[in-house]
Amino acid sequence: MNLDESQRKKVAGWLEEGLKLSEIQKRVNSEMGLNLTYMELRFLLDDLQLKPKEKEPPPTPPASIGKPPAPADSPAGMREMPHSGRPAEDEVDDLPDLDEGALPAAASKVSVTVDHLARPGALVSGNVTFSDGKTAQWYLDQTGRLGIVAKEQGYRPSQPDLMAFQTKLQGELAKLGY
């Protein structure tokens, strides 16, 4: 696709304004009469040696050092998976975000393993042993929500154990490329 000099300047100006590529694609179509696919626009920008503006990441709030997150009403993710093998929409809760420096030393006894084959209805699953020696199965469903099924009915791990579990799980999944 060849553009004349004025068209190149328009496209470069739109990039400078911070327009998204989809917005530029629409403008090229409406103002220049060129119907480009998204990929064709990417190639065109590459040919013209133009790059979209990098968006500045939103400012992150200062981390509270040594302060654990506010406790939830109940331990999160402690609902059992229905008999269908798939988590129901309202049966899996998210765990709170963690501050790794806030984990007590006792929680370091938590261990996490990842299954080679995920359980039905889960993207990834595995087992966890908490600091008190109790075990449970964990899973991540298709929406990325975490669920825990304790081997002992009614068992609820402590909040520090849940926090240590989530931290160790994030580390294990990162090693595997998740």
**Sheet containing 146-150: order of strands:** 111-114, 124-129, 135-140, 146-150
Q: Considering the domain boundaries, does residue 64 fall inside one?
A: no
Residue 128: domain span: 100-175
pLDDT of 7: 83
**Most confidently modeled range among 21-25, 72-76, 105-109, 158-162:** 158-162
Domain tally, the chain: 2
Asked if residue 63 has pLDDT above 60, the reply is no
DSSP secondary-structure letter at 80?
Answer: P
- Give per-residue pLDDT as tens, 82-129: 444 444 433 334 444 444 444 455 556 899 999 989 888 899 999 999
Whether 78 is in a domain gets the answer: no
Indicate whether 144 belongs to any domain.
Answer: yes
Predicted confidence at residue 13, as pLDDT, reads: 87
Gyration radius from the chain CA atoms: 24
Q: What letter would DSSP give residue 126?
A: E
Reported as half-sphere exposure (CB side, CA atoms, 13 A), residue 171 has a value of: 12
Give the C-alpha separation, 38 to 51, whole Å: 14
H runs (alpha helix) in the chain:
5-17, 21-32, 38-47, 159-175
